[in-house]
Amino acid sequence: MNNTAASPMSTATSSSGRSTGKSVSFAAELQSMMFSLGDSRRPLHETAVLVEDVVHTQLINLQAAEVSQLRGARVISAEDLLFLIRKDKKKLRRLLKYMFFRDYKSKIVKGIDEDDLLEDKLSGSNNANKRQKIAQDFLNSIDQTGELLAMFEDDEIDEVKQERMERAERQTRIMDSAQYAEFCESRQLSFSKKASKFRDWLDCSSLEIKPNVVAMEILAYLAYETVAQLVDLALLVRQDMVTKAGDPFSHAISATFIQYHSSAESTAACGGEAHSDAIQPCHIREAVRRYSHKIGPLSPFTSAYRRNGMAFLAC
């Protein structure tokens, strides 16, 4: 499926030969995750496999190892990943907020359980706000114009996150309590919970330079963000595909799908889906295509990390 069609993924060398015989697969978890992010109750398996592939490719192609090598470090650490994301302010801010939240949460949970409190004291090192310190120190060192440090005080509302919250709220309003319980469980899934599986999936053991604990947390977060972005975009694409009566641009939009759907039937199949049905692989592909094809006068210059001609969804 990777090698068919003019998919941007096919240009990435690492994705070939990966779809079959892969022992570690997150497809089942991804299906749950997509449900929690806005997809229908039972996302399609093919979609999940495709999403898995996209995420995997993106993470591999981050090439964080190279950055660490440049630095002369022995492990991939949080600093390398922050460095890679530095260009996209919004995503960087979201990542920083995530890191701070992690610190804050451990601080609170520690205060509640006395055993946790003892463990923390015994571990000796000052763990409080560890991630925040790492982030602050690093950004301090690379910041030339003061923009990055301004991010710490920045309190703007994250629109994407806002939209996701609203979508979740709309979704949950109509659920009954059993469905809601299931939804909540799906929301709690993350790549960081299955850390060892995640490591195998990324094939970390074959890397010379391995990521440390905080870096793994960030990678898990980036993977989750990628899935979330894909679902966001795919939902938009799906919305576009449904031809609305009176929409003047409907004939133009449907033209962008021609490269994927040779026959009129598949167009109809994709376009005729009701809102409540699952996201199709074609939606995902279209979403990736659109994302990497930024239209605009400065598009060749905006994306700084197009190493293989692929734009990164998470950063």
Partner 1 sequence: MEGEETYLELFLARCAAQDDLAPPRSPLLSPIVPYDVYIPNSSNPETTFNSQLEEVTETSGNFSSVDLSFLPDELTQEDKDQTLIRSKHETEENCKTKSWQSGLPLPSQQDVGLALNSSGGSNSHSHLHPGDADSAQPSPEKPLSLPLASITPMTPVTPVSECSGIVPQLQNIVSTVNLACKLDLKKIALHAKNAEYNPKRFAAVIMRIREPRTTALIFSSGKMVCTGAKSEELSRLAARKYARVVQKLGFPARFLDFKIQNMVGSCDVRFPIRLEGLVLTHQQFSSYEPELFPGLIYRMVKPRIVLLIFVSGKVVLTGAKERSEIYEAFENIYPILKGFKKT
State both tokens at 77: 């650490």
Min separation Cβ 31 and partner 1, Å: 16
**Whose Cβ is closer to partner 1: residue 169's or residue 208's?**
169
Residues 38, 167: contact at Cβ < 8 Å?
yes
Site for partner 1 in 173-212 (CB under 8 A): 173, 176-177, 180-181, 184, 187-190, 192-193
* Cβ neighbours of residue 284 closer than 8 Å, sequence gap 6 or more: 47, 50, 51, 54, 230, 234
Q: How far is CA 232 from CA 68, 82, 150, in A?
A: 31, 23, 28
**Whose Cβ is closer to partner 1: residue 35's or residue 257's?**
35
Min separation Cβ 121 and partner 1, Å: 6
Which phi and psi (to 5°) does residue 210 adopt?
-100, 155
* Cβ neighbours of residue 84 closer than 8 Å, sequence gap 6 or more: 62, 64, 67, 305, 315
**Does residue 172 belong to the site contacting partner 1 (CB under 8 A)?**
yes
- Nearest-Å Rg of the Cα atoms of the chain is 21
Taking CB under 8 A as the criterion, the residue among 1, 2, 18, 98 binding partner 1 is 98
**Does residue 114 belong to the site contacting partner 1 (CB under 8 A)?**
yes
**Whose Cβ is closer to partner 1: residue 174's or residue 245's?**
174
Strand ranges (E), 223-300: none
The contact pattern for partner 1, residues 22-51, with x = CB under 8 A and - = no contact, is: --------------x---------------
**Does residue 109 belong to the site contacting partner 1 (CB under 8 A)?**
yes
Min separation Cβ 9 and partner 1, Å: 25
Helix or strand run (H / E) with residue 214: helix 213-241
- Bridge-based pairing of strands 210-211 and 75-76 is parallel
Helix or strand run (H / E) with residue 76: strand 75-76
Taking the C-alpha atoms of residue 209 and residue 68, their distance in angstroms, rounded to an integer, is 8
Min separation Cβ 180 and partner 1, Å: 5
> Judged by CB under 8 A, how many residues of this single chain contact partner 1?
36
**Does residue 258 belong to the site contacting partner 1 (CB under 8 A)?**
no
Taking CB under 8 A as the criterion, the residue among 45, 105, 133, 306 binding partner 1 is 105
Amino acid at 174: I
Taking the C-alpha atoms of residue 97 and residue 95, their distance in angstroms, rounded to an integer, is 5
**Whose Cβ is closer to partner 1: residue 124's or residue 300's?**
124
**Does residue 306 belong to the site contacting partner 1 (CB under 8 A)?**
no
**Does residue 128 belong to the site contacting partner 1 (CB under 8 A)?**
no
Q: Which stretch binds partner 1 (CB under 8 A): 8-16, 61-69, 119-127, 281-289?
A: 119-127
* Cβ neighbours of residue 243 closer than 8 Å, sequence gap 6 or more: 250, 254, 271
Taking CB under 8 A as the criterion, the residue among 4, 23, 72, 122 binding partner 1 is 122
Among 38, 274, 43, 40, which residue's Cα sits nearest to residue 170? 38
State both tokens at 19: 């779809």
Taking CB under 8 A as the criterion, the residue among 4, 21, 72, 112 binding partner 1 is 112
Q: Which residues bind partner 1 (CB under 8 A)?
A: 36, 98, 101-102, 104-105, 108-109, 111-114, 117-118, 121-122, 124, 165-166, 168-169, 171-173, 176-177, 180-181, 184, 187-190, 192-193, 224
